[in-house]
Amino acid sequence: MRFALVAAIWLILVGGLSLYTYQRERRLPPQMEAVVSRDAPGEAYTLEITPSFATAADPFALQGDPLAGATIVVRTAGRVLYRSDKPQQAGVTVSVHPVAGLVAGRNEIFLRAVPPFTAPLDHAVRVRLLQGGRVLLDETLWGEKGANVASSIPFTLTEAGEGGHEQH
C-alpha cells in the first residue's frame, strides 16, 4: 500500500510539473524578428558637456577598473566616447565630435563626472547633443554634495536626425 501511495504522489507531482512546463511554453509569445538598426552618421553630431563644478579624481574608485581614474566618462552603446583623466574647470564646455555609435532609433548616453571630495554644494552637468547648429537634446544631470553625477539619458533619433527625449 505504501508503494502504491508513493507511486501515485510521484506521478501526480511529476505529471503536474510536466503539464505546467508544456502549457507555459505554449503560451510564450512568438519569436520577434531581429530589429535592424541603421547607424546615424556620427560626424553629423556634436556632444557638449559642461560641468558646474571642477572635476577631480575619485578617491573611492575601485583599483583595477580602467575607468577609475577618469574625472569625466561618457559612453554610448558600450563604447567610450570621451574620457578625461585630468581635472576640468567649472563652466568650461567640452565638445566631443564626432559622436560615434548613435543609431536611427533608440539611443542612450551614460555620463559620470566626479566632483571634488569636499564639494559643499549640489552640482550639475549640462549635456547637449547638436546636429549642425540645431539642439537635439539638452539635459541637466544633478548630483548631491559629495556624490558623483552619474546618469543615463535615453533619447530617440529619427531618420532625419531629429531627436526626442524620453521620460524616465
Residue with cell 560626424: 43
Residues paired with residue 47 on neighbouring β-strands, in sequence order: 96, 129
Q: Which residues of the chain fall below pLDDT 50?
A: 167-168
Query: Which pLDDT tens digit goes with each residue over 101-112?
Result: 888 888 899 999
Query: Which pLDDT tens digit goes with each residue over 54-86?
Result: 888 877 777 777 777 788 999 988 888 888 888
Structure confidence at residue 127 (pLDDT): 94
Q: Kindly report the pTM of this predicted structure.
A: 0.68
C-alpha cell recorded at residue 91: 563652466
Which among 62, 102, 54, 56 has a CA at the least distance from the CA of 78?
Answer: 102
Task: Identify whether the C-beta of residue 151 lies closer than 8 Å to the C-beta of residue 49.
Answer: no
64 vs 83: CA distance, rounded Å = 16
Task: Identify whether the C-beta of residue 138 lies closer than 8 Å to the C-beta of residue 49.
Answer: no
